[in-house]
Chains A and B, each alone.
Chain A
Amino acid sequence: MSDDRTLDHATWGGHPETRERVIAVRERLRTGALAPSLIEEHPLAVGWETILAAHDEEYLLRFEEAALSGREWFDHRDNQIGEASYQAALLAAGAGPTAIDLIEAGRSPLAFCAVRPPGHHAERSKALGFCFLNNAVIAARHWQKAHGRRRVLVFDFDAHHGNGIQHAFEADPDVLYVSLHEHPSFSFPGTGYAEETGTGPGAGATLNIPLLPGARDSDALEALEARVDPAVRAFRPEAIVVAAGFDGHLLDDMSGLGYSTDLFRRFGLAVSRWAADLAGGRILTLLEGGYHLGALGDGVEQYLLGLIGATANPLDPPLAKGETGGFNDGKSH
């Protein structure tokens, strides 16, 4: 799922969140191992009703006004904008709901949205960290409201904590937010401490796993196996939204994490197992961060290969005993 109009969201002056990111991802998917099984779709711009589940009307109007009036940034200098940014953000936010409708109609079991601007830092009424509309929150709410999938897992493996996703769902017991990220004592945005586990009725439905700068694959895998897998299985999601960021890669200087490309395949594999065992194969993946173009293209491809189980390495240990692994036939919905 992608659209050329999201490329028109302008950034400049060495800003890391460039249009080339989406171009790199698309090129890799169109020419790489996944090319034969690739079906390209275009998002519909997100509807007002859908978007209001995640943002205040006043904020949306303020954002539109800032973009159309030629302002160069919105809420913070990090968040550069151009005239086309509002429309691009609506399309990026629409990719999730469009893909979910296709998934629910049985069109495609796996949807990857190669969109920008990213979303997971966007708060209800505040743009933050290159994010304007919270694509993952909008998608998860759409899954609940339009298709009655009440229990949704949002799994976020971007190197940075998805403060916007957490804040949207922290009091909601029906959405489990799991984030694996560089420790907030050092890393942007400074939220996502392990002690943040949800509030009120949502207590226990937020799982933050901060990794210290310098963490490698083994640290992430250990957490995935020992902490994330049991939490996801206990939660029993009916649908899975993945906020996929690839900036934890060794070559990406936007974080202090040292992931290899293969870790993204392992993330994909884990997600495919949860989806097959618990969620009827329903997985939606949204691109978040990832700023080293080569590592981003490689990471997305490996993640997707893990997701379809195509390159499941027989040496990969199972995430839980007694499961078969791999992806189901996609007909369960």
Chain B
Amino acid sequence: MYIAAAMTTDPMCLHPEMSLRQVRDLISGKSFRHFPVTDAAGRLVGMVSDRDLRSAFPSTALNPTVRQDQLERLEQVRVESIMSRPPIALPRDATLDDALLLFDRHSIGALPVVDHDARIVGIITVRDVLGAYRRLFGIGGAGSSLVEVLDDGRPRLMSRIASALDACGIICTRLVRADTADGPGSGLGTTYARVLTYNIHAVHEALRAAGLETVQRKPELPPP
């Protein structure tokens, strides 16, 4: 649940006094989109995004002579004049939830990660966080199925699900409870069990034998 495993360490950094011309040469051919700006001691002083850079560069729609002229002027423009500051940063021991909430609140694409002395140690992007939550929820790997169990209003729903599956030797890797109805036909709420088995018939049987109501969205049989 910590960002350390999901972030990129040793990111490419810019310096405040670099000219945009130098930046252009430095990042040419690279696919990074967010650049921490650090001082001589490696401390974070700002952030520059590829969007900031694009706005500072002359448009390709310009007359070639005018554009060339403006490109040459970029020699005079320093990183510090376009960077955002004070930068929003995460400490290196931040959690994925910290990152998610900050991304959500500030509508930004990447966050620098710093140590106690504000020295840059990494960068984490929205995509990194998505990937980390994907792994956390077990999405996309081969070998699992998701089973929906309806909330029957009785206590200990999660433990009853876990025990029923455990008793039948069915490996359950996640139990996620949605407090609100999810999808057609749901009532009080739904609990999703991610099970590592193809034998979904056995899973429904095990849960039903324990008095739990599972959801199967099979259409009704046509009348005989």
Q: Are A16 and B218 in contact (CB under 8 A)?
A: no
Residue of B with least CB distance to A196? B140
Q: A186–B146 contact, CB under 8 A?
A: yes
Q: Are B217 and A129 in contact (CB under 8 A)?
A: no
Q: Are B197 and A190 in contact (CB under 8 A)?
A: no
Asked if B172 lies at the interface with its beta carbon under 8 angstroms from chain A, I say: no
Give the residues in chain B near A250, CB-CB below 8 Å.
218-219, 221
Q: Is A193 an interface residue (CB 8 A)?
A: yes
Q: What's the nearest-Cβ distance from chain A to residue B147, in Å?
A: 8
Contact call A188/B218, Cβ cutoff below 8 A: no
Q: Are B140 and A188 in contact (CB under 8 A)?
A: no
Select which of B140, B198, B202, B218 is within 8 A of A256 by beta carbon: B218
State the Cβ distance, A251 to closest chain B Cβ, in Å: 8
A155 to B28, CA, bound (A): 43
Q: Chain B: which residue is nearest A167 at the CB level?
A: B142
Report whether B217 and A214 are in contact in the complex, using a CB–CB cutoff of 8 Å: yes
- Interface residue SS majority, chain A: loop
Known: A185-B146, A214-B218. A190 touches B140 (CB 8 A): yes
**Interface membership of A204, Cβ < 8 A:** no
Say yes or no: B196 contacts A128, CB within 8 Å.
no
Choose among A78, A123, A130 the residue that contacts B142 (Cβ–Cβ < 8 A).
A123
Instruction: Pick the contact of A14: B143, B144, B202, B219 (CB < 8 A).
Output: B202
Asked if A253 and B219 sit within 8 Å, CB to CB, the answer is: no
Interface string of A304-326 (1 = CB under 8 A from B): 00000000000000000000000
0/1 interface trace, chain A 59-80, chain B, CB 8 Å (1 if under):
0000000000000000011100
B162 interfacial contact with A, CB 8 Å = no
With beta carbons under 8 angstroms apart, the residue of B198, B216, B218, B219 that contacts A189 is: B198
Q: How far is the CA of A191 from the CA of B198 in the complex (A)?
A: 13
Task: Give A162-191 as 1s and 0s: 1 = Cβ < 8 Å from B's Cβ atoms.
Answer: 010000000000000000000011111111
Considering the chains assembled together, what is the distance between the CA atoms of A121 and B196 in angstroms? 14
Answer whether residue A198 sits at the interface, using C-beta atoms and an 8 A cutoff. Answer: no
Q: Is B223 engaged at the interface, CB distance under 8 Å to the other chain?
A: no
- A193–B198 Cα distance when bound, in Å, is 17
Chain B residue numbers with a CB within 8 Å of A253 are: 200-201, 204, 216, 218
Contact B145 A187 (CB under 8 A): yes
A213 in the interface (beta carbon within 8 A): yes
Task: Point out which of B138, B199, B216, B217 has the most chain A C-beta atoms below 10 A from its C-beta.
Answer: B199
Q: List 11 A-B contacts (CB under 8 A).
A: A129-B198, A130-B198, A185-B146, A186-B148, A188-B200, A214-B218, A250-B219, A250-B221, A253-B216, A253-B218, A291-B201
Given A128-B143, A188-B145, A188-B198, 10 further pairs, Cβ under 8 A:
A15-B199, A76-B143, A123-B142, A189-B144, A190-B139, A190-B144, A213-B218, A216-B219, A253-B200, A256-B217
- Chain B residues packing against A (C-beta within 8 Å): 138-146, 148, 169, 196-202, 204, 216-219, 221
Chain A residues packing against B (C-beta within 8 Å): 14-16, 76-78, 121, 123, 128-130, 160, 163, 184-191, 193, 212-214, 216, 250-251, 253-258, 291
